[in-house]
A and B are shown apart, each in its own frame.
Chain A
Amino acid sequence: MTCREFAEFLSDYVEGRLAPAVLVEFERHLAECPNCVSYLQNYQETIALGRAAFTELDAVVPREVPDDLVRAILQAIGRPPFSR
């Protein structure tokens, strides 16, 4: 397996979807290629950082949204029954 092929299998690898025979080749390449070991670490960390990026305080779900927005939404939806 080349580094190019290894890179193409990364997404399936981190999601546990590699076929067994491919996994063997993938792990063999990891054992032989320190550069791809680093790339894999970067790739996994990228996914983790992406998922964590929106949990900062200012991205935390507030308990309320502004009253004017709620009023605007209620005005826009009108009164029941709702027609298409």
Chain B
Amino acid sequence: MTKTSGPIGTAEAPQAPAALDPLDELTLLAAIRRGDQAACERLVQLYSPRLMSVARRLLGNEEDARDALQDAFISAFRGIAAFNGQSRLSTWLHRIVINSALMKLRSRRRRPEQSIETLLPTFLETGQHSEHFVEWLATGEVAMHQGQVKRLVRESIDRLPEIYRTVLLLRDIEELDTQETAQLLGVTPVTVKVRLHRARQALRTLLDAHLRGDS
């Protein structure tokens, strides 16, 4: 019987350029505030790769990610005088690019979406599931290369209705906490929790046909 109540997930962190230590961040910040153009360029060079990956994950395409990254840096440099150092510079930039990507998402023309309801489990009047579930094969046992599984998962996440996909990405991929996610999205923490749970259930449904042990 499966039994766990702790945090799960064994994802490897994406590789990233060596991050500045806190002292180096403060030194760079001070130089930027003095008007050092080279320091500004260094900030952009240093953090663009990681921030571009974040934008790309949220927006799903290179062009929108580039726009969001550019807008994020404009916003960051305009606000850098007021940055109070309560968080790491890298964390502050991470939040700015997420906000920029979310604004880009809101400006997009909405594409037709499948209702989340069709992807959620259904129940009998007794409260029992109406469907029979089977444990999934371990990744190494499915008839797909691990890279194909990851591509399947990304494509399935992309099929989720946007408000659910966004919460899933912010909570499970970007690892923001519930409160932060709620603030960024302008919703309550309860709404975040409900959407995250539904997103996970819907993603399960989309993956099930490919991963179930009796397929």
> Which residues in A have some Cβ–Cβ distance to B below 8 Å?
2-5, 7-8, 10-11, 13-16, 18, 23, 27, 30-31, 35-57, 59-65, 69-70, 72-74, 76-77, 79-84
Contacts and interface: CB of A to CB of B under 8 A. Distances in A.
B41 A74 contact: yes
A55 B15 CA distance: 8
- A-side interface mostly: helix
A79 to B, nearest CB: 6
A73 B70 contact: yes
A34 to B, nearest CB: 9
Contacts of A73: 44, 48, 69-70, 73
Contacts of A44: 2, 4, 8
Given A42-B133, A42-B208, A69-B66, A64 B49 contact: yes
A56 B52 CA distance: 16
Contact of B150 (A13, A15, A35, A53): A53
B48 A36 contact: no
B14 interface: yes
